[in-house]
């Protein structure tokens, strides 16, 4: 382990070398609260995963293209870098070709991931790790200025967490570019999701300890040219996402989508759907509620629907008779959310320009077994937009 001659209080410096892996892991174990660990510029080839379980520390490199941690020869560990402590800042380095997830964070209160890169350098393959950035069961999560490439599930994923900000980041050539799942209070903004299978996913799934995802804002993003064939391993829920989807909202409540650019997505730019698989979970609510869509920009979409993957594109293509809409709502709702001319705050609100096309299935006809599409005038869905509150994380 190298302790720099220019040592500053509580700063540990690791440089490239034959024993870099052992030195780095030892430093991560021996850090104390308040310490900073600097990983110098260079290429580090590791055979084992790294782990950190010390609160209130900072681990920084000298740039996501300068400090490169390569796990292509990884023999042990389920991920490249595992963090299980609170108040951690990770900044300015890259994690390449991890055997499993690149950067996994479990149960952290206060995790900042800034200017990091995760990548599988062999291109999209089902043998790539599932997740690039993977914080779960955490609170006060910041992902800022990061790059995620090649994950076989989601490049940037936040699950079963609360108080989340994902911003200024790039997700490309993943199955899902950015995914917020079973989480509360999230802002996703100023990101680029392109050349994924699906750009941005807001999902809620059954049989998980935290359910009922709510209060998610998705704004000022570009979800464009998502054109990579789905390469998720068989059995993954994202394996049902068709190539060419811009934004999908599934079974969440209080979601506001605004000021985004969605274009070049061959199946559909924006879809709002219920969870359609059978589940025995009595606590799970499978329908979206209080979804607000407004002031977005839509470019070409639906020009190359992926009818071979999952049911969404196939059903959409059939009911639209090939005339794919900008926005699709599957219309599958409980009776309490049906439109009978009475106000219902659970209903979908759409307030877009008049040239934006919208397609849904009539709930009544759906219950009766018909699948005839109803190209609904948006005035039936338009209501007063009630903006959600911004997410605030202490110290950011």
pLDDT of the residue at 317? 77
CA distance 374 to 222: 28
Is 282 contained in some domain?
yes
Is 295 contained in some domain?
yes
CA distance 16 to 1: 10
- pTM higher than the cut 0.85: yes
Q: Which residues contact 353 (CB under 8 A, 6 or more apart)?
A: none
Is 35 contained in some domain?
no
Q: Which domain holds residue 135?
A: 100-325
Residue pair 128/148 in contact (Cβ under 8 Å)? The answer is no
SS3 379: helix
CATH of the domain at 267: 2.160.20.10
pLDDT of the residue at 334? 66
Q: What is the pLDDT of residues 331-341, one digit of tens each?
A: 777 655 554 44
pLDDT of the residue at 341? 42
Is 68 contained in some domain?
no
Counting the structural domains of the chain, the total is: 1
Is 384 contained in some domain?
no
**Cα torsion angle, 229, 194, 136, 52, sign:** positive
pLDDT of the residue at 235? 87
Residue pair 68/40 in contact (Cβ under 8 Å)? The answer is no
Helical H segments across the chain, by residue range: 20-30, 312-320, 363-367
CA distance 163 to 365: 39
Q: Can you say how many angstroms the Cα of residue 216 is from the centroid of all Cα atoms in its chain?
A: 12
pLDDT of the residue at 369? 46
pLDDT of the residue at 321? 75
Is 167 contained in some domain?
yes
Residue pair 288/250 in contact (Cβ under 8 Å)? The answer is yes
pLDDT of the residue at 377? 52
Token output for 136: 């779960």
Flag residues of the chain having pLDDT under 70: 1-9, 334-345, 362-382
Q: What is the pLDDT of residues 228-237, one digit of tens each?
A: 999 999 989 9
Is 179 contained in some domain?
yes
């Amino acid at each position: 382990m190298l302790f720099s001659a220019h040592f500053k209080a509580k700063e540990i410096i690791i440089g490239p070398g034959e024993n870099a892996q052992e030195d780095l892991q030892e430093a991560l174990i021996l850090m104390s609260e308040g310490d900073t660990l600097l990983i110098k510029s260079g290429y580090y080839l590791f055979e084992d995963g790294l782990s950190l379980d010390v609160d209130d520390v900072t681990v920084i490199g000298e740039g996501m293209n300068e400090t490169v941690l390569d796990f292509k020869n990884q023999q042990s560990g389920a991920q490249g870098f595992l963090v299980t402590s609170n108040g951690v800042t990770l900044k300015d380095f890259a994690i390449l070709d991890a055997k499993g997830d690149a950067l996994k964070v479990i149960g952290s209160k206060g995790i900042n991931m800034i200017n990091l890169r995760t990548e599988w350098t062999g291109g999209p393959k089902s043998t790539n790790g599932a997740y690039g950035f993977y914080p779960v069961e955490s609170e006060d999560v910041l992902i800022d200025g990061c790059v995620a490439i090649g994950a076989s599930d989601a490049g940037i994923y936040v699950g079963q967490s609360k108080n989340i900000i994902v911003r200024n980041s790039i997700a490309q050539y993943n199955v899902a570019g950015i995914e917020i799942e079973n989480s509360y209070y999230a802002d996703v903004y100023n990101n680029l999701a392109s050349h994924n299978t699906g750009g941005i996913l807001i999902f809620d799934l059954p049989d998980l300890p935290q359910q009922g995802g709510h209060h998610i804002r998705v704004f000022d993003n570009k979800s464009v040219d998502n054109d990579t064939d789905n390469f998720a391993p068989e059995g993954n829920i994202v394996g049902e996402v068709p190539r060419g989807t811009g934004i999908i909202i599934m079974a969440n409540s209080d979601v506001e989508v605004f000021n985004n650019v969605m274009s070049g997505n061959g199946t559909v730019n924006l879809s709002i759907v219920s969870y359609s698989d059978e589940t025995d979970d009595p606590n799970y609510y499978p329908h979206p509620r209080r979804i607000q869509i407004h002031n977005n920009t839509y470019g070409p979409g639906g020009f190359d629907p992926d009818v071979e993957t999952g049911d969404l594109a196939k059903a959409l293509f059939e009911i639209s008779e090939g005339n794919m809409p900008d926005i699709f709502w599957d219309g599958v709702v409980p009776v309490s959310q049906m439109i009978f001319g009475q106000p219902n705050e659970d209903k979908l609100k759409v307030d877009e320009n008049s040239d934006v096309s919208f397609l849904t299935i009539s709930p009544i006809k759906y219950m009766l077994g018909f699948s005839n599409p109803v190209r609904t005038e948006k005035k039936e869905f338009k209501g007063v937009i009630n903006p959600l509150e911004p997410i605030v994380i202490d110290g950011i």
